[in-house]
Amino acid sequence: MIEQVIKENVIKAILEIYGENLDEKLISVQQTKKEFDGDFTIVVFPFVKQLKKSPETIANEIGNYVKENVSEIADYNVIKGFLNFSLTNQFWFDYINNNNISEKKFRDEVDIALFPKKNIKHHNFLDSDCKSNNLFFSEKSEDLFVIEYSSPNTNKPLHLGHIRNNLLGYSVAELLKESGRKVVKVNLINDRGIHICKSMLAWQKWGNNETPESKNMKGDSLVGKYYVKFDVEYKKEIFSLIAGGMGEEEAKQKSPSMIQAQEMLRMWEAGDEETIKLWRTMNSWVYSGFDVTYKRMGVDFDKLYYESETYLLGKEVVQKGLDAGILTKKEDGSVWIDLTKEGLDEKLLLRSDGTSVYMTQDIGTAILRFNDYKPDKFIYVVGNEQNYHFQVLKIVLDKLGYDWSDKLYHLSYGMVELPDGKMKSREGTVVDADDLIDEMIHTAKTTSDELGKLSEFSEQEKNEVHRMIGLGALKYFLLKVDPKKNIVFNPKESIDFNGNTGPFIQYTCVRIKSLLRKANEQGIDVNLKNLSFESIKEFKKEIILLKKVYDYHLVIQEAAIQYSPALIANYAYELAKEFNQYYQENPILVAEEDERKVRLALSKLVGFTIEQALKILGIEVPERM
């Protein structure tokens, strides 16, 4: 790509003009800020000490050299220590011709931009280490990333918070794949523990042998009903014990239901046949429900891990750490690790009754995954309320002798709240994922009906478009925000055909598809090749739009570095907005032939680029809407 060509020639210029070999890490090729003329900018201040001239002199001398030696450079200007290069119209003409429009060519362009060293044979770039160039992704292209997301508990259905988790994890995985990385998407099913036993116990006591079939409910919803039921009865017991004179904390521990749930967990870990049978039955109900929801969300996984299969390895490792004197056992039999030297506190790894905790399971899972894949990076997509947990996990693994613990990365994200406040699973105040998806589709239908957009569609077509719009609105709203920030989710606000929303971007793609269909119906060839630009006198507006398309590969690499689909989402919106302004101001089908061809080619390229960005977000685009 042109950035690497510029960098190469800046290095040559410094060598020929000043006789100096400049450390290429000092050369930063950036996009020129909008308030200045130019396309790419070199900051020359880092060169001053070595070259011993003023920034303006250095910039002018390098600028003149590069202009003379790079045919794609039309001109340059210098503002203090900033050297701004402008590209020729021919560069942009060639860009349209070279990319219009083969998916393979587009993929090659992105690949070349992200990994210039890998493509040296084809592009005559300098044989330089990509890691030293801040334009390019900091990991090696052959790196393997293991991404864990979803990680549901089998005691309740997926809810709004899980939706953000799943969409973020899936999108980061797709983003890394788009940047050339190898990715394994994994899901850790939290299928054991006291919370699971609460649902099981409540069903035993008050379920009357209900099944998903007998109640015509999704299995995860049925099990979730009994998780809520447990909490209701548990609170009644606590209230009764407190009324009898017991303290609140003691009442929580001595509640009959809690004691029974803890006993059920001990029986489960001891392999009690009846307990295991009930556990398998109720978990199977939940898995069937999860599968439906995952399919509706459009997310998938390469491998499933189950806490029930990993916690034993964690317990073994903890025992070895205890034997080696790394961990300590207290008088009640519980096992701890002392992290006070690390500025933290003591961390429980095994309870006094020998049962494991989340940390135990995560130790076992991490070791198992490393043995399975030997990844270069583990990414845990987990909410920010678990920041401390993952900080501890890395330290514990390191203390236990696993030198790959520094490969763990917690992609911490903010919570999703509703306009009326937080959600609580135990109290039944969560918004189930399926209910929210249904609401989004219904809202899409209502909005489309009000605008009369789909009046000529069949019912089947309408339903499919409503699904795409509703899910597109949901995904975009949750992904356009920086992962670290909290979100207040408003379904109605997310479905707007004119704002910074998924439907607006989808509609832009559909508009372009409609434009190309009309051209085809009028006998205009839309498979545009070898376009002629000789008769085109004015090309400034097209260049503005092309520069935004060209940004795609830069946004991909920056988003991949930050693990932030929000950068892709907002790029798609900005490109869609830029195109709509261009579309309003420039007639396309009625333009002169050469101009029409170029504008159609440009429209096609924009539409394709937006769809590529939306794919990363898991958003589908209808043919019509």
According to the per-residue pLDDT averaged within each range, which of 132-146, 256-270, 448-462, 515-529 is highest?
256-270
CATH of the domain at 43: 3.30.1360.70
Q: Based on the domain organization, do 477 and 586 belong to the same domain?
A: yes
Give the whole-angstrom CA distance, residue 6 versus residue 29. Answer: 8
Is there a single domain that holds both residue 218 and residue 268? yes
| Last residue within a domain, chosen from 423, 449, 483 | 423
Assigned domain for 119 exists? no
Q: Mean pLDDT throughout 149-170?
A: 95
Query: Residue 97: its pLDDT value, please?
Result: 80
Q: Which two tokens stand for residue 538?
A: 């004015």
Which two structure tokens, joined as six digits, stand for 210? 């209900």
3-state secondary structure of 373: helix
- 8 A C-beta contact, residue 486 and residue 567: no
User: Distance from CA of residue 262 to its chain's centroid?
Assistant: 37
pLDDT at position 106: 52
Model confidence pLDDT, tens digit, residues 487-509: 998 878 888 888 899 999 999 99
Q: Is residue 228's pLDDT more than 80?
A: yes
CA nearest 478: which of 561, 565, 409? Answer: 565
Q: Residue 303 in 3-state DSSP?
A: strand
CB distance 170 to 295 below 8 Å = no
Q: DSSP letter for 376, please.
A: S
Do 334 and 238 share a structural domain? no
Residues 460 and 532 in one domain: yes
Return the structure tokens found at 559.
Answer: 């988003």
Tens of pLDDT along 261-305? Answer: 999 999 998 999 999 999 999 999 999 999 999 999 999 999 999
Instruction: For residues 470-488, give the mean pLDDT.
Output: 95
Q: What are the Cα distances from residue 578, in Å, to 94, 295, 334, 546? A: 21, 33, 62, 10
622 is a domain residue? no
Is 605 contained in some domain? yes
Which pLDDT belongs to residue 593?
Answer: 85
- Structural domain includes residue 602: yes
User: How far apart, in whole angstroms, are the C-alpha atoms of residue 436 and residue 280?
Assistant: 28
- The number of beta carbons lying within 10 Å of the beta carbon of residue 47 is 24
Q: Is residue 280 a part of any domain in this protein?
A: yes
Tally of CA atoms within 13 A in the half-sphere of 263 that contains its CB = 8
Q: What is the pLDDT of residue 104?
A: 52
- Give residue 383's pLDDT: 96
Cα–Cα distance, 241 to 412 (Å, whole number): 39
Q: pTM for this one?
A: 0.87
Average pLDDT over residues 528-551: 81
For the chain, what is the domain count? Answer: 4
Examine the fold and report which residue of 401, 423, 445 is the final residue of a domain before the chain moves on: 423
Residue 417 has pLDDT above 90, yes or no: no
Residue 241 lies in a domain: yes
- Determine the structural domain holding residue 10 and report its residue range: 1-87
Strand partners, 82: 43, 79
Quick one: pLDDT at residue 420?
Answer: 66
Considering the chain, what percentage of its residues have pLDDT values greater than 90?
75
pLDDT at 94: 85
Q: Are residues 405 and 353 in the same domain?
A: yes
Residue 273, Ramachandran bin (φ over 0: left; ψ between -120 and 50: alpha; else beta): alpha
Q: Are 414 and 344 in the same domain?
A: yes
The torsion angle over the Cα atoms of residues 332, 334, 338 and 340, rounded to 10 degrees, is -70
- Identify whether residues 496 and 601 lie together within a single domain: yes
Nearest to 227 by CA among 253, 209, 200, 208: 200
Beta-carbon contacts of 434 under 8 Å, excluding residues fewer than 6 positions away, are 157, 158, 218, 221, 292, 293, 296
Q: CB–CB of 370/389 below 8 Å?
A: no
Torsion over CA of 33, 34, 37 and 43, rounded to 10 degrees?
0
Pairing of strands 416-417, 487-488: parallel
Q: Average model confidence (pLDDT) for the chain?
A: 89
- Tell me how far apart the alpha carbons of residues 318 and 334 are, in angstroms, rounded to a whole number: 11
pLDDT at 231: 95
Strands 144-148 and 303-306: unpaired
Residue 532: inside a domain: yes
Same domain, 250 and 324: no
- Residues 276, 311 within the same domain: no
Instruction: Kindly give, in sequence order, each residue whose CB lies less than 8 Å from that of residue 216, ignoring residues fewer than 6 positions away.
Output: none
Q: What are phi and psi of 76, to 5 degrees?
A: -145, 160
- Kindly state whether residues 465 and 558 are assigned to the same domain: yes
**CATH number, domain containing residue 605:** 1.10.730.10
Q: What is the pLDDT of residue 110?
A: 53
349 and 440 both lie in a single domain: no
- Enter the DSSP assignment of 147: E
Any domain includes 105: no
Nearest to 585 by CA among 541, 549, 540: 541
- Is the pLDDT score of 355 beyond 50? yes
The residues near 509 (Cβ < 8 Å, ≥ 6 apart) are: 576, 607, 610, 611, 614, 621
Q: What is the mean pLDDT of residues 409-436?
A: 75
- Cβ neighbours of 10 (radius 10 Å): 25
Residue after which a domain boundary falls, among 261, 284, 301 = 301
Residues 6+ apart with CB under 8 A from 238: 248, 251, 252, 255
Q: Rounded to a whole number, what is the largest CA-CA distance in the chain?
A: 93
> Where residue 310 sits, what CATH number does that domain have?
3.40.50.620
The pair phi, psi for residue 79, each rounded to 5°, is -125, 105
Mean pLDDT on 143-164: 94
Per-residue confidence at 527, pLDDT binned at 50, 70, 90? Answer: confident
Q: Say whether both 591 and 465 belong to one domain.
A: yes
Task: Give the tokens for residue 176.
Answer: 């890394």
Q: How many other C-beta atoms lie within 10 A of the C-beta of residue 447?
A: 19
| The pLDDT of residue 117 is above 70 | no
Give pLDDT, residue 245: 95
